[in-house]
Chain A
Amino acid sequence: MTAPFRTASGGRVERSAPVSFTFGGTAYEGLRGDTLASALLAHGVHQVTTSIKLGRPRGVGAAWAEDPSSLVQVEEPFPDPMQLATTTEVFDGLVAHGVPGQGRLADIGDSARYDSRHLHVDLLVVGAGPTGLQAALTAARSGARVALVDEQSEAGGSLLGTADLVDGRPALEWVGDAAAELAAAPEVVHLQRTTVFGVYDDGFALAVERRTDHLGGAAPREVSRQRVWRVRARRTVVATGAHERPVVFTDNDRPGTMLAGSARTFLHRYGVLAGSRAVVLTTNDSAYRAAVELSDAGVEVAAVVDTRAQAPAHWAAECAGRGIEVRTGSAVVGTRGTERVTHARVAARGAGGVLASAPEDVACDLLLVSGGWNPAVHLYSQARGKLAFDTSLGAFLPTGRLDDLLVAGAAAGAQELATCLRQGGAAAATALVELGLDVVPVPVPSTPPAPPATAPDLVWTVPDVDGDTSRQFVDLQRDATVADVQRALGAGLRSPEHVKRYTTIGTAHDQGKTSGVVTSGIIAELLGGGPDDVGTTTFRPPYTPVAFATLAGRDRGQLFDPVRTTALHDWHVQAGAVWEDVGQWKRPRYYPLAGEDLETAVLRECAAARTSVGILDGSTLGKIDVQGPDAGELLDRLYTNLMSSLAVGKVRYGVMCGADGMVLDDGTVLRVAEDRFLVMTTTGGAAKVLDWMEEWHQTEWPELRVHLASVTEQWSAFPVVGPRSRDVIGAVFGGADGGAVDVSNEAFGFMTWQDTELDGVPVRLARISFSGELAWEVHVSSWHAVAVWERLVEAGRPYGITPYGTETMHVLRAEKGYPIIGQDTDGTVTPQDLGMAWVVSKKKPDFVGKRSFARADNLREDRKHLVGLLPVDRATVLPEGSQVVELAEGGELPPPPVPMLGHVTSSYRSAHLERPFALALVEGGRARAGQLVHVPVKGRLVAVEVTGPVLVDPEGARRDG
């Protein structure tokens, strides 16, 4: 297919590299270097889609990310919604179509890879146009570490879309030399196709690099598709150029209507004529260049319509020489056409911008518009830089610089190429001097003298012939019009932030790049006053949309969060464990035999532990090595009970509370030596407890001579549990080479520990029970965990030793009324609430939490207590979290809101009790022992008896076997 609007030569496209793509079901040919927009325009296709609310045809309105209208859905090679035709590079096999405001996410996983990199530099230069290149060259020659980051496919910025000369030769030759010099500089990272989308504190910037998007299906699999660069820069030079802004008039959304500078870009960069007969509406000098250059390229320019009373003399002469009519003191008041503009309606303007003549329809298929230029101040503003409206330029400009960020070139309001080049070098030099580097100045290249500039006009809207503002589009993507702004003001809104939210102007993919300042201007016009009185909305990251997949990078799937496994993980896998995630740990929940489900497996595992012997991998328990002469003193201040009195060789259970008296964690403490304790914590509390201890030690009691270290992963721990555990421990360690361990009650009492060795491997045995059964905890270095575990399993074979998981552990401890901190407690529960007043020392004058126990609220009799619940039907397993209620007289529920007495915290089926049971926190629960309360379960009320929390072996007869 021929491309009738492609110029014969010129542009940055590779004419020898045609690519085939499909848009809207039609096959087209483009050139490598084209965007989807330029390739379509080359075929005379302007309409890309229809609008989101009104269904009006919409086309290409600009040449890059500021375009509010040309949204497309990429379908091949992988679905990608909400892309702009103007920023999507074409490649072989691209399949896309326009979308009215909403795209479609792929319904399959994205197999592309995304990653991130860190970069630390002296100077970050954002934008590789003339300003940025001159800044980067200056920094590079001065020996600074530099990052030059630019969002286009190649360096050059605005020079890519002009016919400018630098140093007497085509500007892009200068650009090419500059890029080559930077590529050879050892401390320069030069990134193209990379958008700095956010600037944050202390020189931190985030950029997204589109590494393979332009390659389509040919992208190498091993290269990440997109990459987030996390740049930390000592100084940043923002050289992001400027966005042309439109003028709002009736039917200004018709395809074929385009920003004037963008038409120059399509011509010079892509070798594409945006139309065959053009009308140019302008308020300033810049659009004359578009008129003249397009005319020279073969476009018939029907008229330049200048809102100003007088045309700039230089440009008037240039137009006259080409036979281009210039209509001063006039404006385009509307357009005609359906899918494409066919006429621009031109009328004279009188005083105050009112229309002074009937409109004349001027035939055209391209309507170029320039309402002036908005410096791209986004990054400066994100970094909390203040803006002020410059009336002479008709734009919001940075009011200065920030501590570590400077703005230069068109982004700072510079109008001429020479100014940009000079400012770029100067900004870099300023930054380098501040960093203490010796500046090697780069001569400012020469540029042809610019024609004398004349003052721009400030025109936001052109009145409609009939006063109808409902087709005067401010934000094309949101279908928001001047009428919508009027409605917002009529509703009393004044701030542009409020108008934005009322009208949705500036909330689309482009975040108001062309509509934001115009809206401020319109508000000012309608309210009286200047744009400075109105201000702008806040600029926030990201500058352009960034996909979540890109931000997620490699942190997906298995890499989303670290997975912690114990030394025995492979053994558990072999044994067919079903896993439970406990924080980051993988723990076996139960080990089903063939045909078993959770319930039957757990009943079997529980029965084994209560009648013979079971073994649990408890290695995930937190372990903290506490060493130093004041170790006991520190523990005394943090535990509710006395730890310093613990004898070496003994074990004590302890509870820690916050200063508010609420239980924080619990566990056993082994006194290893006079000046050394091993503190065991819950699995989930390991890090928290270590932090807690460090916090008090460092911030309140730095005088205590004590050191804390986590040894959670160094030590594996296996509870061997049940009446036959003595046989198993005796068989393995009774003849141990490190000295036979006497496992009798007399020699190895409850809550004591002993060290021994097995084949030269040190092993610590501790008689600790979390089940009420006779039990030993076996501690061994994780390097030898598997060997020792397998010895234990082998020795237990005659007794049917049964590995059990967390579920059985929970049932066994619940039968004994042992709470799990964080499951049976929630940060509002004191030790007394748990029925554990015995663990609170009366002797110690103080410890963290003690004073709070005496607070009036903590002395209430009706506090929630931990109690046992037994469903009277002996069948219902109460769902954890169920509410506990009391029936009114007559056995009915009280009228709503039904008072809640508490809730079920743990609930299981008990093999030992041969019935389900639960633990619950119930108001005044201890006084309710023996009473019936009710638990609503799926619409029926289950009667439950309140009991003490200890349901199995309340006398503690089983723990010694």
Chain B
Amino acid sequence: MQMIRCPWCGPREEVEFHYGGQAHVPYPAEPAALSDEEWAHYVFFRDNTRGVFAERWAHSAGCRRWFNALRDTVSYRFLAVYRPGDARPALDQAGASS
């Protein structure tokens, strides 16, 4: 069981967290202006990345706060965590957040 570092609480066990899918998929500013296809892409389509993936997590059995994480979908390792609204952090070559 992995330890996940909640940006508010610090490292906690994986079972305290809830996965929330791909991060940085903002609610469209004007849904009514979108075509059915564009809207469907917002509602139904998500990336299926091999490697570093920005995704949302909620510390559901802890502080109940949402945050974003960069995770390697091959190794499952968390490379960085950051708060909603923060920019996606840059990773150095070793994969750690800089």
Chain A interface (Cβ < 8 Å from any Cβ of B): 200-202, 204, 232, 659-660, 691, 694-695, 698-700, 702, 845-846, 850-852, 854-856
Chain A nearest Cβ from B35, distance in angstroms: 10
Contact present for B84 and A852 (CB under 8 Å): no
- Contact partner of A700 (CB less than 8 A), chosen from B27, B30, B32, B65, is B27
B-chain residues with CB within 8 Å of residue A200 when the two chains form the complex: 1
Are B43 and A695 interface neighbours, CB within 8 A? no
Residue B85, interface by CB 8 Å: yes
Interface string of B41-82 (1 = CB under 8 A from A): 011100000000000101010001110000000001000000
- B66 and A855 contacting across the interface, CB-CB below 8 Å: no
CA A204 – CA B1 in complex, angstroms? Answer: 6
Rounded to whole angstroms, the CA-CA distance of A695 and B18 in the bound complex is 11
Is there a chain A Cβ closer than 8 Å to B39's Cβ?
yes
Contacts of B84 in A (CB 8 A): 698-699, 702
Q: Which of B20-39 contact A (CB under 8 A)?
A: 20, 26-27, 30-32, 34, 36, 39
Which A residue sits closest to B2, measured CB to CB? Answer: A201
Q: Check A702–B60 contact: CB distance below 8 A.
A: no
| Contact in complex: B31, A691 (CB < 8 Å) | no
Instruction: Please tell me if the beta carbons of B42 and A695 are within 8 angstroms of each other in the complex.
Output: no
Q: Say whether B20 contacts A659, CB under 8 Å.
A: no
B22 to chain A, nearest CB (A): 12
B91 lies within 8 A of chain A by Cβ: no
B9 on the interface (CB 8 Å rule)? no
Can you list 11 contacts pairing A with B, beta carbon distance less than 8 Å? A201-B2, A204-B1, A659-B42, A660-B44, A699-B20, A700-B27, A702-B85, A846-B30, A846-B31, A850-B31, A851-B39
CB neighbours (8 Å) of A232 from chain B are 3
> Assuming A204-B1, A699-B84, A700-B26, is B39 touching A852 (CB within 8 A)?
yes
Does chain A have a CB within 8 A of B87? Answer: no
A468 to B27, CA, bound (A): 71
B94 to chain A, nearest CB (A): 12
How many A-B pairs fall under 8 Å by CB?
A: 56
Contacts of B2 in A (CB 8 A): 201-202, 204
Contacts of A695 in B (CB 8 A): 20, 58, 66
**Which residues of A are found within 8 Å of B44, using beta-carbon distances?**
660
Could you say which of B20, B34, B66 contacts A851, with CB atoms under 8 Å apart?
Answer: B34
Which residues of B lie under 8 Å from residue A845 when comparing CB positions?
A: 32
* Residues of B contacting A698 in the complex (Cβ-Cβ under 8 angstroms): 65-66, 84
Residues of B within 8 A of A856 (CB): 36
* Smallest beta-carbon distance B40→chain A, Å: 7
Decide if B56 touches A699 in the complex (CB within 8 Å): yes
Q: What's the minimum C-beta distance from B2 to chain A, rounded to whole angstroms?
A: 4
- If A202-B2, A660-B44 are given as contacts, then 6 extra A-B residue pairs at C-beta distance below 8 Å, sorted by A number, are A201-B1, A202-B1, A659-B43, A691-B58, A694-B58, A855-B39
Q: Are A855 and B36 in contact (CB under 8 A)?
A: yes
- Nearest Cβ distance between residue A166 and chain B, in whole angstroms? 38
Known: A691-B58, A852-B39. A699 touches B66 (CB 8 A): yes
| Chain A CB within 10 A, most for which of B1, B14, B30, B85 | B1
Report the bound CA distance from A855 to B20 in whole Å. Answer: 25
- Asked if B65 and A201 make an inter-chain contact with CB atoms under 8 angstroms apart, the answer reads no
Verify B20–A660 contact, CB threshold 8 A: no
Residues of B contacting A691 in the complex (Cβ-Cβ under 8 angstroms)? 18, 58, 60, 64
Complex CA gap A200/B85 in Å reads 32
Q: How far is the CB of B87 from chain A (nearest CB, A)?
A: 15
CB contacts (< 8 Å) of B76 on chain A: these are 201
Q: Which of chain B's residues has its CB closest to A204's CB?
A: B1
